Amino acid sequence: MNSDNPLLADSDLPDFAAISAAHVVPATQEAIASHRAAIYGITKAGSDDFDSVVLAAERADFLLSRVWSPVGHLASVADTPELREAHAQAQALMTAYLMEAGQDRAHHDAVARVAARPDFTILPVAQRRAVDLALRGFRLAGVALEGEARQRFLDIGVELSDLGTKFGNAVLDATEAWSEHVTDEAALAGVPESDRAILAAYAQEKGLTGWLITLRQPSVLAILLHAQDRALRERVYRAHNTRASEQADDKAHDNSERIDRIMALRHEAAEILGFADAAAHSLETKMASDADEALTFLADLARRARPVAERELAEARAFAAAELGLDDVQPWDLSYVAEAMRRTLHGVDQEALKAYFPLPRVLAGTEALLERLFGIRLVAREGVSTWHPDVIFYDVLDASGTTVAGVYLDLFARAGKRGGAWMDVCRARFRDADRFHLPVAYLTTNFAPPAGDRPSLVTHNDVVTLFHEFGHVLHHLLTEVDLPSIGGISGVEWDAVELPSQFMENFAWERDTLIGLSGHVDTGEPLPEAMFDRLLAARQFQAGLAILRQIEFATFDLLLHRDYDPSRGSRVNEVLAQVRAEVAVMRPPEWSRFAHAFSHIFAGGYAAGYYSYLWAELLSADAFEIFAHADVPGGGATAFRREILAAGASRSAAENFRAFAGRAPEIDALLRMRGLAEA
C-alpha cells in the first residue's frame, strides 16, 4: 500500500491531522483494488472451510473499512468544499464497488459451500450466525438478479448513495446559511447569560459585534426556550422548520426533488428484489415482521398517549393565557410555555440546572458510572492525532489496567459539523491470526461550546444525550465477538440497536449518578437533593406530547415507504399532513417542512425504520426495570454486559433479550416510564 497516504497506513488509529482531501480518492481506489483482489483470491481457491472463506473475507472487509471510516467521519465533522468534493467522488466509487461485491456470485457460492458442509452445525454459534447473515446480505444485494435488472439495481444503489449525501449536505448548508444579527441586547430579553455568550461567540466567529442567532442546535434551543420576543421565536422556528425546502427564504438548498427521487428509487429497488414496497425491503433486517406489525405497535401507543397529550396541551394553553398573556398558543410558543411551566409548576429551571453541569464534571461523572457498572476506566491520552483541537481521545482499560478499546469524543457545535448526536465505528474488534485489533468508536454531539473562561454548561437533556450515545459506544467497545460483521452494533437488527443507548439514558435520572456528576460551576456544590426531586417529579412532564411527536415521525416514515405509488410520487407533504391529522394534537403551520431536513430517513440508516426508537425503548424500559431489581443471575450490570453488549449480533436480538431477562420483552415498563399505564 502507498505509505505516503495516511489513510492507507497500517496503524491502530487514523492520523487525522495528516489526512487531506487529496488523499481521499487515491486511498479509496487502492483500498477497493486490494479488497477486490482479496475476494478473488478467496473464490479462486475453491475452499469451503470457515477460515479460508469467511474469516478471509472479514479480513478484507476490515482493511476496507479502516480506510473508509475516517473519510466518512470527516465528511460529517469537518466539512470543507475540498473534502466534500473528494468525498463525493470516493463515495461514488465505494458505493458502486460494494454493490458489485454484493452481487459477486462466486463469493456467494463460496460462503454457501461453507454452510453446506456436513460439519457446519457444529461450528461455534457466532461463526454460523456470520455465515447466515452473509448469505442474507448477498440476497438483499441482488446476487440472484440477471441482465438488465442486475445492472439497474447497481445503478440505483449508486444514485441513492449520492442523493443521501447531497440531502445531508443541503441540510448542513441550509443550517449555516440562515442567521439573524442582533446589536441591541434588549432583543434577547429572557435568553440566559450563558446562551447569550454563545450567540456572542457566533458573532465573533463571523467578525461581527453583538450577537448572532443561527440554526445551530444551541442557538435554536436558546431562542425557542427562553426568548420573550414572540416574533423572534416565530422567525427562528420558521427558519428551522423550513430548512432545505421551497418554503425557506434561501431556496438554493431545497431537498424537494431529492426526496421525490429517493422515494422513487427505493421503491424501484425493492420491486426489483421482489418486495412489494420499500418498507417490506427495510423490515427484512429488523425484529418487526412487517410494516403492519410496526404500525400496529405505533397505533396502540398513540391510542394510549393521545388523551394524555390532549390534557397536557389544554394545561399548557390555560397556563399560557393565565400567566403569559398568550391566548393563542402557536407551535413556536410551545417550548417557551413548557419551560415557563417547568419553572413555575414544577420548580425546574433549566438555566439554574445548567450551572450544576459544567461539562468537565459531567464527563468525570460519566467515567465513574462506567467504572461502577462495567469495571472499565476511561483514561485520556495526549498526543493522539485528531481532526479538531476540542476532540478528546480515551483509552478504555479493564479492571486489570489492560487497554481493551478506545473512543474519540467530539462534543461541541461548530461550523462544518453536522447537527445532532451520534456514535460511529472507527475500528472494529477483530482477532486475526496473531494480531488483535481493538475496537474504537467515535462519539459526537453538538453541545454548547465554552464561552470565554467559563466551561461548557450542558443541560440535563444533554446529559441524557451523552449517556445515550455512550450506550452505543459500550455496545461497540465491550463486544466479545471477534468477527467484525457480527461484533458490537454490526449485524444487530436495526429496531434493537437502540436498546443499549436507551438503557443508559435511565442513569441520567438516577439520584446517586446525577448528583454525583454535578458540581456548580462557581461553588462546586453538588446538585441539591430538592432540585433533583423536582427534576425527577417532572420527568413525565408533557410526556404524552413528546411520545406523540415520535409516533408521528415513525408513522410518517413507514407509510411513506409502504404506500408509495409510482404514479403519484412521494406525496411527502400530503402523507405528513394525513399522519398529523390522525396523531398530532397541535398541527404545525402549512408551510412547515420538517421532512426536508429529516436526515434520519433520507440521509441516514433509518428509512422505514424510525419506529426503531420506540420499539427499542420498549426493550430498554423493560430491561432497566429488570436491572434495577437485579432480578437476573449474576446481577443486572453483569448480565446486561454479558448477554446484550458482549454478544452483539452473534445471536438474534430476541435471543439476546431472552438470555438477559429470562423471558420475552413486555410493554408494561414502557407504559409506566412514559406515564401511559392505565390505572
Categorize the per-residue pLDDT at 433 as very low, low, confident or very high, splitting at 50, 70 and 90. Answer: confident
The three cell numbers of residue 571 are 406525496
Residue 348, number of CB atoms within 10 A of its CB = 21
pLDDT 10s digits, 329-373 = 999 999 999 999 999 999 999 889 999 999 999 999 999 999 999
Average pLDDT of the chain, as a whole number: 96
Q: What is the pLDDT at residue 2?
A: 60
**Do 526 and 516 form a contact (C-beta atoms < 8 A)?**
yes
Confidence at 635, pLDDT banded by 50, 70, 90 = low
Average of per-residue pLDDT across 260-273 = 98
% of the chain with per-residue pLDDT over 90: 96
* pLDDT tens digit sequence for 393-432: 999 999 999 999 999 999 999 999 999 999 999 999 999 9
What digits encode the pLDDT tens for the residues 129-173? Answer: 999 999 999 999 999 999 999 999 999 999 999 999 999 999 999
At 591-625, the pLDDT tens digits run 999 999 999 999 989 999 999 999 999 999 999 99
- Given a cut of 80, whether residue 233 has pLDDT beyond it is yes
* Phi, psi (degrees; rounded to nearest 5) at 214: -125, -175
Query: What does the block give as the cell for 310?
Result: 390532549
Which of these CATH numbers, 3.90.1170.20, 1.10.1370.10, 3.40.190.10, 3.30.2320.20, describes 256-346+542-610? Answer: 1.10.1370.10
CA dist 493 and 502 (Å) reads: 15
Residue showing cell 476490515: 62
What's the rounded Cα separation, in Å, for the pair 12 and 258?
38
Q: Give the span between the Cα atoms of 637 and 504, in whole angstroms.
A: 11
Q: SS3 for 272?
A: helix
Sequence-ordered list of residues with C-beta below 8 angstroms from that of 574, at least 6 positions apart, any chain: none
Decide if pLDDT at 284 tops 70.
yes
Render pLDDT for 44-53 as a digit per residue (tens, 0 to 9): 999 999 999 9
User: Cell digits for 244?
Assistant: 432545505
- Residue found under cell 420527568: 539
Residues of each domain in the chain carrying CATH 1.20.1050.40 = 6-144
d(CA 352, CA 475) in angstroms, rounded, equals: 33
- Separation between Cα atoms, residue 193 and residue 394, nearest integer Å: 32
Residues spanned by CATH 1.10.1370.10 within the chain? 256-346+542-610
pLDDT in tens, 517-562: 999 999 999 999 999 999 999 999 999 999 999 999 999 999 999 9
Give the separation between CA 22 and CA 27, rounded to whole angstroms.
9
At 136, list the grid cell: 442474507
Reply yes or no on whether the pLDDT at 102 is more than 50.
yes
pLDDT digits (tens, 9 = 90+) for 466-497: 999 999 999 999 999 999 999 999 999 999 99
Q: Supply angle C-alpha 355, 358, 361, rounded to 5.
A: 130
> What stretches of 584-646 show up as alpha helix (H) in DSSP?
599-602, 612-629, 636-640
3-state percent helix, strand, coil for the chain, nearest multiple of 5? 60, 10, 30
Q: What is the pLDDT of residues 535-545, one digit of tens each?
A: 999 999 999 99
Name the CATH superfamily housing domain 6-144: Endopeptidase. Chain P; domain 1 (1.20.1050.40)
Q: For the chain, first and last CA: distance in Å?
A: 66
Distance CA 29, CA 24 (A): 9
Q: How many CB atoms sit inside 10 A of residue 21's CB?
A: 18
Residue matched to cell numbers 487497554: 403
Residue 451 pLDDT > 90: no
Active site residue 469: yes
Query: What residue type is assigned to position 198 of the chain?
Result: I
pTM above 0.85, yes or no: yes
Distance, CA of 199 to CA of 208 (rounded, Å): 11
Distance of alpha carbon 106 from alpha carbon 42, whole angstroms: 9
Distance CA 112, CA 399 (A): 41
Is residue 679 very low, low, confident or very high in pLDDT (cuts 50, 70, 90)? very low
Torsion of CA 664, 558, 277, 572, to 10 degrees: -170
Written as nine digits, the cell of 4 is 505516503
Catalytic pick among 58, 339, 469, 493: 469
Confirm if 100 and 453 have CB atoms less than 8 A apart: no
Please tell me the distance from the alpha carbon of residue 395 to that of residue 327, in angstroms, as a whole number.
Answer: 54
Residue (of 445, 467, 421, 454) closest to 355 by Cα position: 454
**CA distances, 42 to each of 34, 115, 176 (Å):** 13, 16, 47
Tracing cell 444525550 back to the chain, one arrives at 465
Instruction: Give how far Cα 244 sits from Cα of 234, 441, 561, Å.
Output: 18, 30, 21
Task: Flag the least confident range among 57-61, 327-331, 450-454, 581-585.
Answer: 450-454
- CB 656, CB 647: distance < 8 Å: yes
Provide the β-strand partners of residue 393.
408
Burial 483-492 (b: 16+ CB within 10 A, else e): bbbbbbbbbb
Is the distance from CB of 551 to CB of 571 less than 8 angstroms?
no
What pLDDT is stored for residue 630 in this prediction? 65
**Which grid coordinates are listed for 131?**
455465515
Helix (H) or strand (E) holding 503: helix 499-505
